[in-house]
Amino acid sequence: MSIKITGTGSYIPSGIKKNENFYSHEFLNSDGSIINGPNEVIVAKFKAITGIEERRYIKDELLNSDIAFFAAEKAIADANIDKESLDYIIVAHNYGDVKHNAEQSDTVPSIASRVKHLLGIRNPKCVGYDLLFGCPGWIEGVIQAKAFISSGLAKRCLVIGSETLSRVVDKHDRDSMIYSDGAGAVIVEKTDEDGGILTHDTATFSLDEAHFIYFGETNHPEISDKRRYIKMYGRKIYEFALKNVPLAMKSCLENSGCSITDVKKILIHQANEKMDEAIVKRFYKLHDMEMPKGIMPMSINTLGNSSVATIPTLLDLILKGKLENQHIDKGDVIIFASVGAGMNINAIVYRY
C-alpha cells in the first residue's frame, strides 16, 4: 500500500498585473518616509531580486472560496473519483474570504465548508476544515491527509491551497509587488501502486521568529483606517530560510532512504527566485554537489507568490505539460519544501 497524489487541479486568475503597473504607486518606507529614486528603478531592483515580472489577481466578484472550488473540481475530475467518496476536505489558506475593498476577513463558515457546499457534496462524513500554517500550509495539509489515511481514519482526501493576497496588500509597501492570487488542489488516497509519500518533516520556529511575517498598518502615515495588511521582515526571512530550509530538506531526504542523486525535481515554495535558488544550492552543498540544471522548476516570474497555492499549482502545471522543459516521470523522486509565517518549515519526499 502507498499513499499517493492521484489527481491535481489549479486555478490561475485571468487578471494580469505587470511590473510596470506599479510605476504610478507611491512607495514608502515602513516609517512613512519617502523612498529615494524613481519607481522604475525600484521595480527594476525588485525584478532582479525576486524574478517576478507579473502576477495574477482574481476578478472583483470572486472570493478565495470560489477559486479553491475551481481548483478542487479539476482535481476531482483528474482523479476520476466520486466526490461523495471524499473523507476529508482540507483547505490551507491564511486570510479567508476577503471581499473586494472590504476591511474584514470572513472565515465563518470555514473555507472548507464553503468549498464542500459549492461542490454539492451531500455526505456528512466528508469532513471539511481549514488549516492556517503560513505558506507551508498545503504541504502540511498533505501530511495531515497521509496521517488520516495511515491511521485508517480515511481513504481519500482533498487538499487545497488557495489564497487571494491581492486583497491584503498595502499599495504603499514595495513588498506588495511580490504577492498574487491562485489555487491548487490534489486528491490524496491509498493505492496499491508503489511510491507515493516516502517521508516528511515539519518544524515551527517561534521563539524569536514568530513575527517575521505579520499583519500591520499601511506605510502611509496619513491613512488612519483600521485595515491591516500582510507585512514581513524580508532580510530576516531570507537569512532564516537559507539557514534552516536546506537542513530540513536534508533530514527529510535521509529519512526517506533515497539518495541525493535520486532526486529529479525540487518543488519549492515560490516566494523569491534568488532566495529559492540560494536554498537549493545550499541543500546540494550539504551533499558536496553543485545544483543540477533544471532541478528547480519556477513559475514565480509570471504567477508571483500565491502563498499556499504555489506548490500545488506548480505541480499541476508540470503534470499537465504546461511548464516548458519540465516533466515528472513515473518513478521520479521529488521533494516538496516550503517556509513561511510561523515561522514554519516543512518538506515531503515523494516518489511518482
| DSSP H or E segment with residue 162 | strand 156-164
pLDDT of residue 216 exceeding 90, the answer is: no
pLDDT above 90 covers a percentage of the chain that reads: 85
How far apart are alpha carbons 316 and 320 in whole angstroms? Answer: 6
CATH number at residue 271: 3.40.47.10
| DSSP H or E segment with residue 197 | strand 196-204
* Tens-place pLDDT, residues 218-232: 888 888 777 888 999
How far apart are alpha carbons 33 and 31 in whole angstroms? Answer: 6
Q: Which of 203, 182, 164, 239 is nearest to 338 (CA)?
A: 203
How far apart are alpha carbons 261 and 249 in whole angstroms? Answer: 14
* Tens-place pLDDT, residues 117-149: 999 999 999 999 999 999 999 999 999 999 999
pLDDT of residue 281 exceeding 80, the answer is: yes
Owning domain of residue 205: 198-351
Q: Output the pLDDT for position 324.
A: 87
Burial class (CB in 10 A: 0-12, 13-18, 19+), 270: buried
Q: What is the mean pLDDT of residues 51-56?
A: 95
Q: Output the pLDDT for position 218.
A: 87
Examine the domain organization and report whether 70 and 208 are in the same domain. no
Q: Output the pLDDT for position 103.
A: 81
Examine the domain organization and report whether 188 and 251 are in the same domain. no
* Tens-place pLDDT, residues 229-262: 899 998 999 999 999 999 999 999 999 999 999 9
Crossing angle of helices 64-79 and 111-119, rounded to 10°: 50
Examine the domain organization and report whether 46 and 23 are in the same domain. yes
How far apart are alpha carbons 185 and 69 in whole angstroms? Answer: 9
Examine the domain organization and report whether 247 and 320 are in the same domain. yes
Examine the domain organization and report whether 224 and 244 are in the same domain. yes
Q: For the ranges 27-31, 93-97, 120-124, 162-166, which has the lowest average pLDDT? A: 27-31
Q: Which of 174, 177, 230 is nearest to 17 (CA)?
A: 177
Q: What is the mean pLDDT of residues 20-32?
A: 88
State the pTM of this model: 0.94
Examine the domain organization and report whether 132 and 256 are in the same domain. no
Q: Output the pLDDT for position 3.
A: 96
What pairing do the DSSP bridges indicate for beta strands 2-11 and 54-57?
A: unpaired
Burial class (CB in 10 A: 0-12, 13-18, 19+), 244: middle
Examine the domain organization and report whether 84 and 174 are in the same domain. yes
Split at pLDDT 50, 70, 90, the class of 7 is very high
Q: Output the pLDDT for position 61.
A: 96
Examine the domain organization and report whether 231 and 310 are in the same domain. yes
Joined together, the cell numbers standing for residue 283 give 541543500
Q: What is the mean pLDDT of residues 157-175?
A: 94
Strand order in the sheet with 181-191: 2-11, 181-191, 156-164, 88-92, 127-131
pLDDT of residue 167 exceeding 80, the answer is: yes
Specify the 3-state DSSP secondary structure of 92.
Answer: strand
Examine the domain organization and report whether 11 and 152 are in the same domain. yes
Average pLDDT, the chain: 94
* Tens-place pLDDT, residues 305-314: 999 999 999 9
Q: What is the mean pLDDT of residues 178-182?
A: 96
Half-sphere exposure of 174 (CA within 13 A, CB side): 23
Question: Measured on CA atoms in the order 189, 97, 346, 290, is the torsion positive or negative?
Answer: positive
Give the distance, in angstroms, between the CA of residue 316 and the centroid of all CA atoms in the same chain: 13
Examine the domain organization and report whether 79 and 174 are in the same domain. yes
Q: For the ranges 58-67, 177-186, 225-234, which has the lowest average pLDDT? A: 225-234
Backbone angles phi, psi at 128, to 5 degrees: -115, 135
Please give the C-alpha separations between residue 184 and each of 68, 143, 193, in angstroms, as whole numbers. Answer: 7, 16, 24
Rg (CA), the chain: 20
Examine the domain organization and report whether 202 and 184 are in the same domain. no
Split at pLDDT 50, 70, 90, the class of 351 is very high
Instruction: State yes or no: cis peptide before 109, omega within 30 of 0.
Output: yes
Examine the domain organization and report whether 135 and 277 are in the same domain. no
Q: Output the pLDDT for position 310.
A: 97
Of the three residues 169, 193, 217, the one that is the final residue of a domain is: 193
CA torsion angle for 179, 280, 264, 288 (degrees, to 10)? Answer: 180
Of the three residues 142, 166, 193, the one that is the final residue of a domain is: 193
pLDDT above 70 covers a percentage of the chain that reads: 100
Instruction: Find cell 476544515 and name the residue.
Output: 129
Structural domains of the chain, count? 2
Of the three residues 193, 208, 242, the one that is the final residue of a domain is: 193
273 C-beta neighbours (distance < 10 Å), count:
18
Q: Name the DSSP letter for residue 34.
A: B
